[in-house]
Amino acid sequence: MKQFLVILLFLFSFHVLNAQVFDVETIKFSGEDDKRINLVILSEGYQTNELDQFVTDATNFTNDMFSQSPFLEYENYFNVYAIKVPSVESGADHPGTATDEGAPPPIPVSDVDTYFNATYDGFGFHRLLYAQDYTAINTVLANNFPTYDQAMILANSPYYGGSGGEFPISSTGVSANEISIHEIGHSFADLKDEYYPGDALAAEAINMTQETDISLVKWKNWLGTDGIGIYAYCSTGSCASWYRPHQNCKMQFLGVPFCAVCKEGIIEKIHSLISPIDSFLPENIIVNDPIFPLQFELNLINPIPNTLERTWTLNTNPFASNVDMIELLDTDLNTGANTLVAVVNDDSNLLRIDNHETIHVYTISWTINKNTLGIDEISSDTNDFSISLYPNPTNSSITIKYESSKIAPLRLEITSLEGKKVKLVELTNENSIDISALSHGIYLASFYNNSNLIATKKIVKN
């Protein structure tokens, strides 16, 4: 046993001593790494004297990516870093073995010594450029930027090529930036190709389906808008049973925008990774001798333009909306416990959410304990959760689902636009609410956690 431990210690020491640390250059910095999506770009096939060119290539890609929707609107949610990994030789392998090479081959056959062993002719396709050494990729990331959210590779080759997968890769030649952005669509948001990717890769996804019923297709809320429809991949064969939402999307053609369905999928992924609340004040502080007015502030990661809605309630009563800072006076508070809640959600017109409305809701709740002499304590809590209502509109019942890591069961109050309370329900995680007895019209669904108003959404009764 001791000998085994000695061997393990030796191997561990050998690994640590040989762990390579490379220069990491900041391409784009929007905020602290734990509060942003960190995109890390690795160099492949760049020799040491070419690493400055790699940084230039990575910067050009970054600028291009964030000039296109929806990355344009949500660029403040991202940091971008470049890891300068030198290779012994420049370029990428080209074995010349792909079945679609043609004669003569469009690029020279080559076998070069690069760090991640990138090669063309992947799986029989000339343009399928991929990195063969995933162990090296994972090791470089672990040693140099373990907190990455998405990593990608730029291969120093002037010939067209790229691929998706866990670590998308692109050459730096023709349409390099467009290839990279397309591949990010695969790897970051799990988008499918909107040209037929082959039977092995065909699957239900954000932008690919075998559903043709307009009431059930996952992008039904976009049908008839911005060219969104239900389009067959082809007219014969197995691909004729698969459908895409658009005829001219970046997931099919380079040089065109993402379609509305793909934009929505990317934004949903962004929301799943990061809260728009960067910080807030005060943070769980005790005030022994308060000076009025008391200030409460949200520091948000704003989309461009800002589509974040902010609602403030004090003791369940509306206090302010669409402001990032409020002030409370002594006269605003009751003696005893007071609850101030700030609710933030994204009201972007790029979001319609397939099949039902989902609210990405983020809350900050402060408890303010006021005694007869003043305020003796302010504490805060933060939470994020999602609420789904579907179908909406409806003429009979509506299903309500919510997910949260913290919040206890919610209370739902449905009121008419005139302010009349028509239904009160204690919710579990999934509920079917019968509203068949209600008159046709629009109602407000208000969600409460204890006495805290968490979110409000419209329900349309047909």
Helix (H, G, I), strand (E, B) or coil at 53: helix
Cα–Cα distance for residue pair 307/360, rounded to 1 Å: 12
For residues 446 and 415, is the Cβ–Cβ distance under 8 A? yes
Q: Name the residue type at position 324.
A: D
56's tokens: 């230039």
Cα–Cα distance for residue pair 344/360, rounded to 1 Å: 8
Cα–Cα distance for residue pair 350/386, rounded to 1 Å: 17
CA 439 to chain centre: 39
- Backbone torsions φ then ψ of 55, nearest 5 degrees: -60, -40
373: which residues sit within 8 A by CB, 6+ positions away?
Answer: none
Mean pLDDT for 240-261 is: 97
Instruction: Dump the DSSP string for 143-188.
Output: HH-TT-SEEEEEE--SS--EE-SSS-EEESSTTHHHHHHHHHHHHH
Task: Name the CA radius of gyration of the chain, rounded.
Answer: 27
Mean pLDDT lowest among 66-80, 323-337, 409-423:
409-423
| pLDDT exceeds 50 at position 94 | yes
Q: How far apart are the first and last CA of the chain?
A: 74
Q: What is the pLDDT of residue 460?
A: 80
Maximum pairwise Cα distance, the chain: 90
| pLDDT exceeds 50 at position 16 | no
CA 429 to chain centre: 23
Cα–Cα distance for residue pair 351/127, rounded to 1 Å: 34
Cα 322 to Cα 248, 294, 348, 421, distances in angstroms:
37, 19, 14, 25
For residues 169 and 118, is the Cβ–Cβ distance under 8 A? yes
Domain layout of the chain by residue ranges: 2-189, 190-274, 275-461
User: Strand order in 357-371's β-sheet?
Assistant: 317-321, 308-314, 336-346, 357-371, 374-390, 397-404, 430-434
* CATH topology classification for 2-189: Collagenase (Catalytic Domain) (3.40.390)
> H or E element: which one contains 41?
strand 37-44
Confidence band, pLDDT 50/70/90 cuts, at residue 450: confident
Cα–Cα distance for residue pair 349/305, rounded to 1 Å: 11
Among 126-130, 152-156, 234-238, 428-432, top mean pLDDT goes to 152-156
- Backbone torsions φ then ψ of 327, nearest 5 degrees: -125, 135
Instruction: Dump the DSSP string for 236-300.
Output: SSGGGG-EES-SS-TTTSTTSPPPHHHHHHHHHHHHHH--SEEEEES-S---SS--SSEEEEEEE
Mean pLDDT lowest among 79-88, 120-129, 237-246:
120-129
For residues 189 and 262, is the Cβ–Cβ distance under 8 A? yes
Mean pLDDT for 1-24 is: 52
Mean pLDDT lowest among 190-194, 309-313, 334-338:
334-338
For residues 307 and 343, is the Cβ–Cβ distance under 8 A? no
pLDDT tens, residue by residue, 292-333: 789 999 999 999 999 999 999 998 889 999 999 999 998 999
Mean pLDDT for 155-178 is: 92
Cα–Cα distance for residue pair 120/216, rounded to 1 Å: 40
Looking at residue 32, the DSSP 8-state letter turns out to be -
Which residue spans within 63-119 are E strands per DSSP? Answer: 78-83, 118-119
| pLDDT exceeds 60 at position 11 | no
Helix (H, G, I), strand (E, B) or coil at 55: helix
Q: What is the pLDDT of residue 407?
A: 65
Examine residue 282 and say whether the peptide bond preceding it is cis (omega within 30 degrees of 0). Answer: yes
Residue appearing with tokens 């204690």: 426
Instruction: Dump the DSSP string for 213-231.
Output: -TTTSTTGGGTTSTT---E
Mean pLDDT lowest among 3-7, 80-84, 357-361:
3-7
Mean pLDDT for 238-258 is: 97
- Backbone torsions φ then ψ of 214, nearest 5 degrees: -65, -20
